[in-house]
Amino acid sequence: MTQPPTLDAEALYQDLLVAVRSFMKASPVPLALAGITSGGAWLAERLQRDLGLPGTAGVISSAMHRDDFAQRGLSSTAQTALPFDVNGAHVLLVDDVLYTGRTLRAVINELYDYGRPASVKLAVLVDRGGRELPIEANVCAASVKLPDDQLLELARDDSGRLSFVLEAKLKG
């Protein structure tokens, strides 16, 4: 495992915080935060605190709606927990890395299992391109191009400090 030399996760988080604060101020309606497990959930939790929002951010899992569920099985990451009524809510989904859009498709399906939101927006730390579905972030801290055979993942140490890990994608 190597760390991408140009991506400072902590610095990008600060950029994301500024961008999300601006986005939320410009929103005509209050937005409920929901982070996608696991990196997006870490970001949403931190954004909730740093923005001074009451309560806790939601956590949403893509595990039950993935199109590769048969190969991957049920993930051991946190399961969906939404501390707000989804019906009529304006939801800001938060994720660490946007790539093909397939995780977001699964997460939106999961969200609709809990109700019908009034709107769904997306904030991501990094957009790495490579979309397979027509999904775009409303807020993005950075865009980066990586070869298709590499995975970019957010990591968090025991103190809560964020970093990126770059790994070779397993063939199969």
pLDDT digits (tens, 9 = 90+) for 46-55: 999 999 999 9
Q: Which two tokens stand for residue 8?
A: 């400072």
9-68+77-168 CATH fold: Rossmann fold (3.40.50)
Tell me the mean pLDDT in the region 162-166: 95
Q: Which two tokens stand for residue 26?
A: 């410009």
Tell me the mean pLDDT in the region 1-30: 88
**167 has a pLDDT exceeding 80:** yes
Residue listed under structure tokens 């199109």: 67
**19 has a pLDDT exceeding 80:** yes
Tell me the mean pLDDT in the region 157-171: 91
**17 has a pLDDT exceeding 60:** yes
How many C-beta atoms lie closer than 10 Å to residue 123's C-beta?
A: 26
Q: What confidence category does residue 78 fall into, taking pLDDT thresholds of 50, 70 and 90?
A: confident
The mean pLDDT of the chain is 91
- What pTM was estimated for this model as a whole? 0.91
**92 has a pLDDT exceeding 90:** yes
**All structural domains of the chain with their residue ranges:** 9-68+77-168
